[in-house]
Structure 1
Amino acid sequence: MLRNTSVKTALCGAVAISALVMPAAGSASAASPAPPASPASSAETADSAKAASVRADSFDAKCRSHSRNYVLKKYFRGPKAFTLRCGTSTWGWKHIKARHGWNSTMDRKIDAAIWSGDPNGRGGYSTYANQCPRVEKFRTIIGTPAGTNDLLTAYKVDQRAAAGAVRC
């Protein structure tokens, strides 16, 4: 009986040790380890999430300490520059922020509309969905009391292109 007990103890010990050494297939330790998150990529994600609010905050601070004619940013269409000024509640950055919202997406859409959009007949440029008939997606209007090449407003739209547009 003593011999039987020692064999059982030895077998139980061996099973316990093998369970510790070789994890089960469904266990977390059996899975291949995930690569550690890069500190730079985590920081970049956090930075990009904060970028819109930081830019809005910095624009807000600049507009508080400067006049309505202060140039916050320039957008280009070829060699021609269009300026975004602090403005007022009816035109410029203050207007866009209050009426349409300001973030990095709005900034990119303005840049894309001015750089590669089509003239919209309102003194600005628009971008359109790639479909037929064309549907205007985003519009900028240029011309303010401060200057003819200044951004008056920019906003998202969902309207069919003008009646004189190319038919499908």
Structure 2
Amino acid sequence: MRLNVSVKAGLSLAAAMSALLIPAAGSASATSGSATASATSVAAASGSGGSVSVAAAASFDSKCRSHSRTYVLKKYYRQVPVGPPTFYTLRCGTKTWGWKHIKLRHGWNSTMDRKIAAAIGTGSPNGRGGYSTYLNQCPRVEKFRTILGTPGGNNDLLTAYKVDQPAVAGVAAC
């Protein structure tokens, strides 16, 4: 019980500090850098899943502002039958490929990150140069798709998005 009270006190303190650290939206001191730092510190203090995804997106934004389009933000791993796992990279990219494209066209949050990891890690090849996850039904319905291969490299994530359609037209009946 004592630990639970301590955690609640820490969360209350984090919420109070965030109110002091984050300037009002209309104020002259409301810059993206200070808001990002505050969101990151609050996320670290609170340990909440929602805040962390906001902080990760802000962190990726800042990294991509200060690095080139080929900068590697994250690696996703796929276990192969023999040998070490292969990895696929998420690079900053541009508005047509990579993280910037995914954020702009499909949205970026912790759920998108998890779906990409699941599709690459355990998904089935989709015939489009990537991996997909499917609903467990017959006929199979694709629910999430990744496509690999960018100007930065063949093992780079081009895009990732939600799909709701049968896997292949003309598939044999179940």
Q: Distance in 1 between matches of 2:137 and 2:171?
A: 13
**Residues 125 and 38 from structure 1, CA distance in 2 versus in 1: closer, same or farther, beyond 3 angstroms?**
farther
2:7 aligned partner: 40
2:65 aligned partner: 64
Paired residue type of 2:48 = D
Q: Does 1:88 align with 2:94?
A: yes
Q: Distance in 2 between matches of 1:69 and 1:158?
A: 31
- Structure 1, unmatched stretches of 5+, are 1-34
Q: 1:132 Cα shift?
A: 1.2
Q: 1:87 Cα shift?
A: 0.1
2:154 aligned partner: 148
1:77 aligned partner: 78
Q: How big is each residue's C-alpha offset from its partner over 1:1-32, in whole Å with a ceiling of 9 and x where there is no partner?
A: xxxxxxxxxxxxxxxxxxxxxxxxxxxxxxxx
- Give the counterpart of 2:114 among 99, 108, 112: 108
Q: 1:54 Cα shift?
A: 0.4
Paired residue type of 1:89 = K
SS of the residue corresponding to residue 109 of structure 1 reads helix
TM-score of the pair, normalised by structure 2? 0.71
Q: How big is each residue's C-alpha offset from its partner over 1:113-132, in whole Å with a ceiling of 9 and x where there is no partner?
A: 00000000000000011111
Q: How big is each residue's C-alpha offset from its partner over 1:25-51, in whole Å with a ceiling of 9 and x where there is no partner?
A: xxxxxxxxxx99555378586532211
Q: Distance in 2 between matches of 1:159 and 1:108?
A: 21
Identity %: 67
SS of the residue corresponding to residue 131 of structure 1 reads coil
SS of the residue corresponding to residue 141 of structure 1 reads strand
SS of the residue corresponding to residue 50 of structure 1 reads helix
**Residues 51 and 39 from structure 1, CA distance in 2 versus in 1: closer, same or farther, beyond 3 angstroms?**
farther
- Structure 2, unmatched stretches of 5+, are 12-44, 80-84
Q: Distance in 2 between matches of 1:46 and 1:67?
A: 30
1:128 aligned partner: 134
Paired residue type of 1:92 = G
Paired residue type of 1:59 = F
Quick check: 99-108 or 124-133, which moved more?
A: 124-133
**Residues 52 and 39 from structure 1, CA distance in 2 versus in 1: closer, same or farther, beyond 3 angstroms?**
farther
2:103 aligned partner: 97
TM-score of the pair, normalised by structure 1? 0.74
Q: Distance in 1 between matches of 2:116 and 2:5?
A: 32
